[in-house]
Structure 1
């Protein structure tokens, strides 16, 4: 018999909220005539290579790294403001989180984010909906390292077969499954909510 799901881990951008980082990059690519997929790829590499997403580098380190890979004439301040505007919380996803907690399921954020997530919490009151928040910026480790999933489950006292991970990145979902977690690729809220409910209701 399949173990009961005791813990659910949600990514933030692209799951709990609209993906503001990606949206800001796509908009910048449109304004400056750049390939949006290439700019996103370079930005994801830059946020890791600069150490920014792991709390080992600064915003300016990230921006220099990105501009070195694919320069475009825009100030960091305007880009940052667009990122923050783009992270629009999805009320239906927070309602799902609250529903799961009411059933006694441990619910946590597991996000490759920077201190921007703390700012978004102060703006939108995100953290109060969750039992724990695991942010790569404070952990010094991101989801590109599969051992992060083991670290988080140890903290929660949850075994991998009892855990469900929800993310908009297929690569992260694959890594979670490789560590023995159940995982759902979330690309739109409505089917994602249905898939989470099916997973936790299955005995």
Structure 2
């Protein structure tokens, strides 16, 4: 199979990629602070500028387009998941006589791009009860530590939830080709899971 060299990015594409990177970094910065203020937005812009200038990374091309309605749908569902997960974690913290169990779950994503891996991992990490331990760029797999998981059915439910989250992200900012992958049969099989505290 012959490979074609990647064409150099045009000036317009480079500026668009930088704008997408700055927007993403500022959004993450504001979410990490937990409040939307002009001081946090300006601070996020400063941090984004420093990261892009002092620590230049390989360009992450943005081949998709922003779709307002799916983006709004993603944000509403994300806020809902945030509230529900916070309540669940709070209940686990105050529930007496119950030892929470967790699991490390491998979730292979459908769209193996740096941007999709980053956005999906950030969205998962911001929801209480789940934490990204590793992101395998070669296979597009996220390894997530989850608390409150006790059975394999709950593991599969969480894995389906991650893939639904990925689909909402791709629907909001992905390309038509990337979105079309969710209408094809899933080539990935069941991945191993490590249940913490499981009886031997």
RCO comparison, higher one (Cα < 8 Å, 6+): 1
Q: Which has the larger radius of gyration?
A: 2
**How high is the TM-score relative to the length of structure 2?**
0.32
**How high is the TM-score relative to the length of structure 1?**
0.32
